[in-house]
Structure 1
Amino acid sequence: MDEKIKLPEDAFQPVGKDDKLDDEKIAAPSRTFLQDAWHRLKENKAAFISMWILIIIALFAFTSPITAPNPNSANPDYANLPPKIPGVNINGFNGTSIQGGQRVDQYKANNVPESKHFILGTDYLGRSLGQRILHGTMISLLIGLFATLIDLLIGVGYGIISAWKGGVVDLVMQRIIEIMQSIPNIVIMVLLLLVIKGGILPIILAIAINEWTTMARLTRAQTLQLKSQEYVLAAQTLGESSGKIAMKHLLPNLSSVIIIQTMFTIPAAIFFEAFLSYIGIGIQAPIASLGTLINDGQRNFQFLPFQMWYPAIVLAIIMIAFNILADGLRDAFDPRTSRH
């Protein structure tokens, strides 16, 4: 029993530098919070594809002043021409339409030169519908982005102050929000039109005046949770000012809520602009927006449906893509909300 057990000399082998000792090691790669969110977003194929669709649409729209410089250039001789793509002999894209029960080449009938073609057709004034859709998309995106920027600046600051101060200040500020939410956007828009001439500015102001309240409520709710966290209490104990605590601790932790809400606010602003322009109190001619293009197209929808379908399709794609991307961002920033 007391005899010592001796191991053979070849029981152990020296470890070489090239030996892969971690082949069976199980460990996830080290990532930051944003890197982890980006990884989850890329795994969500629908959201990732929607993001690239929006990027492509934005690139085409914001480069339209260079690629499509004359959206308001009218030529009555080219009025109501159907779409024509060179080399494509498919009805609806070959420049023909039905007239008197027969298919007629509208480009030959209007003596349009062979080198001249309009991929998405023309409107009732002979303006290129493709160029006007590009410019209209740019205007609609600009309105959505500027209105959302104002929404961020007001809503985030308002929500943080309301939750941080608490007490009577919070009570009064929340009652103000309830009053603002009780006023319909359309009423604000009509009142602004009495003061400001029609255009982009009153639409942006009408959206910004009312829509920031949702951002403020979400920010307030999240800040109420964060202000009781240990690191915030520690910062207060160390004597840091409220401004520094907001910048260093609150805003970084509110970023996911802010980004997600922004993704929902932009399409809502774009749709509101389209609705106002469609009913005639938004963007005024000759400026194009998706709403004005749909409004112009519906007048000839029975005979020239493409004039309404194309801008409506672009608007639908933008709305759907933004909402799918917003859902994907929500799941990426907070996996607990994932429905998969």
Structure 2
Amino acid sequence: MINQSQPSDADFQLIPESVKANLDDEKISAPSLTFTQDAWRRLKKNKSAMVSMVILILFFILAFGSSFFETHNPNTQNPAATNLPAKIPGVPIPGLNGTIMQGGTRVDAYQQAGMKPGTFYLMGTDSFGRDLFSRVLYGTRISLTIALVATFFDLTIGIAYGIISGWKGGRIDNFMQRIIEIIMSIPNLVVIILLILVLKPGMVSIILAIAITSWTSMARLVRAETMQLKNQEFILAARSLGENPVKIATKHLLPNLSSVVIINTMFTIPSAIFFEALLSYIGIGISAPQASLGTLLNDGQKNFQFLSYQMWFPAIVLSILMICFNLFGDGLRDAFDPKSK
């Protein structure tokens, strides 16, 4: 038989106080973080994404706040100040100090045009004497407004359509997906041309074209994620408890779809900006005298050989916007979905 003797006090040994003090030396502890806090922590480590975010915030502030500090009206023509180069006070760099090369020598274009002392245009003027800086800010505002409208339709029609399609499944899902395929098979350019035949070139036509076509990609992504999530245990538990499908969508599905929605939104915005710039550049978007980045590029390329700055400034702004949105979107994708690396 096994001897089952009871332990006595002699079988135990007290731990010295010096050892007790060092018991927690190797203890690893970290504050508990929510999903959003953890994503923000990862995003802050991505320097390119953070720099892009700061630049985009500055663009939004300058574009939408330009009406409060604009130096000149973007549509006011001044025949006496046509084709003046950029002039930034206190900057002696050629090309930014208001001077041009004439007859092999550099002359002050503002003094030659008879401008009053203290007059300056940060990005110069166009062939009608309009301030290019104010027009670039105004054009950026137009482009960002159209991008925000595209985002709005993505977040309303796209998410709702995708959740309903993925949640219902079966014949309803099959029918709704055929509608999306029909819409996606029609090129955006064809849609905008058909709208121009009914309306006129401008923001209304572009916004309607985006409203008709932009939400389809978001709807398909949300539908795919919804079909995976609706079979998860927490969704089945909510359904078995008799939870309203609307509440299930808002309380359980949307929080778990947030990463897909945010990432896709950040790639929708630059696509909308480029779409508007392309339409305005070829003459079927924003019409004169309104300014957009596309119309400014169209006007600038006409004088590019002799007055290249008229095209360089809007091209640089458009390029920075596209690069920053894409870098910020990449950073959000890595932050919300670390497995995608």
State TM-score, norm by structure 2: 0.93
Contact in 2 for aligned 1:147/1:205 (Cα 8 Å): no
Which range moves more in the overlay, 87-96 or 125-134? Answer: 87-96
Matched, 1:43 2:53: no
How far has the Cα of 1:103 moved from its partner? 2.6
Shift of the 104–235 alpha-carbon distance from structure 1 to 2, 3 Å rule, reads same
Q: Which residue of the partner structure matches residue 201 of structure 2? A: 198
Contact in 2 for aligned 1:88/1:94 (Cα 8 Å): yes
Q: Which residue of the partner structure matches residue 5 of structure 2? A: none
Q: Give unpaired runs (5+ residues) of structure 2.
A: 1-7
Q: Residues 147-200 of structure 1, C-alpha deviation per residue, up to 9 Å, x if partnerless?
A: 220122111111111111111111111111111011010111011112222221
Q: Which residue of the partner structure matches residue 283 of structure 1? A: 286
Shift of the 310–237 alpha-carbon distance from structure 1 to 2, 3 Å rule, reads same
Q: Matched residues, percent identical?
A: 61
In 2, the alpha carbon distance for the partners of 1:34 and 1:11 equals 44
SS in 2 for 1:151: helix
Q: How does 1:59-208 map to 2 (within 5 A)?
A: 59-68=61-70, 70-208=73-211
**Match of 1:275, as an amino acid?**
L
Q: Residues 119-151 of structure 1, C-alpha deviation per residue, up to 9 Å, x if partnerless?
A: 111111111111111111111100100122012
**Match of 2:244, as an amino acid?**
S
In 1, the alpha carbon distance for the partners of 2:216 and 2:106 equals 55
CA RMSD across the alignment: 2.1
Matched, 1:324 2:336: no
Shift of the 26–103 alpha-carbon distance from structure 1 to 2, 3 Å rule, reads same
**Match of 1:268, as an amino acid?**
S
In 1, the alpha carbon distance for the partners of 2:22 and 2:136 equals 59
Contact in 1 for aligned 2:158/2:219 (Cα 8 Å): yes
Shift of the 77–248 alpha-carbon distance from structure 1 to 2, 3 Å rule, reads same
How far has the Cα of 1:4 moved from its partner? 4.6
How far has the Cα of 1:11 moved from its partner? 3.9
**Match of 1:336, as an amino acid?**
K
Contact in 2 for aligned 1:86/1:94 (Cα 8 Å): yes
**Match of 2:284, as an amino acid?**
I
How far has the Cα of 1:5 moved from its partner? 8.1
**Match of 1:112, as an amino acid?**
M
Q: Which residue of the partner structure matches residue 335 of structure 1? A: 338
Q: Residues 3-57 of structure 1, C-alpha deviation per residue, up to 9 Å, x if partnerless?
A: 958979x944798xxx897553212221110000000000011111111110011
Contact in 2 for aligned 1:203/1:273 (Cα 8 Å): yes
In 1, the alpha carbon distance for the partners of 2:113 and 2:11 equals 105
Q: Give unpaired runs (5+ residues) of structure 1.
A: none
Q: Residues 286-332 of structure 1, C-alpha deviation per residue, up to 9 Å, x if partnerless?
A: 11111111111111000000000001000000000000110100110
How far has the Cα of 1:101 moved from its partner? 3.6
Matched, 1:29 2:31: yes
Q: Which residue of the partner structure matches residue 221 of structure 2? A: 218
Shift of the 257–14 alpha-carbon distance from structure 1 to 2, 3 Å rule, reads closer
In 1, the alpha carbon distance for the partners of 2:161 and 2:230 equals 15
Shift of the 74–20 alpha-carbon distance from structure 1 to 2, 3 Å rule, reads farther
In 2, the alpha carbon distance for the partners of 1:192 and 1:25 equals 66
Shift of the 3–255 alpha-carbon distance from structure 1 to 2, 3 Å rule, reads closer
Q: Which residue of the partner structure matches residue 58 of structure 2? A: 56
In 1, the alpha carbon distance for the partners of 2:258 and 2:56 equals 21
**Match of 1:53, as an amino acid?**
I
SS in 2 for 1:327: helix
In 2, the alpha carbon distance for the partners of 1:213 and 1:284 equals 28
In 1, the alpha carbon distance for the partners of 2:234 and 2:206 equals 42
Contact in 2 for aligned 1:148/1:208 (Cα 8 Å): no
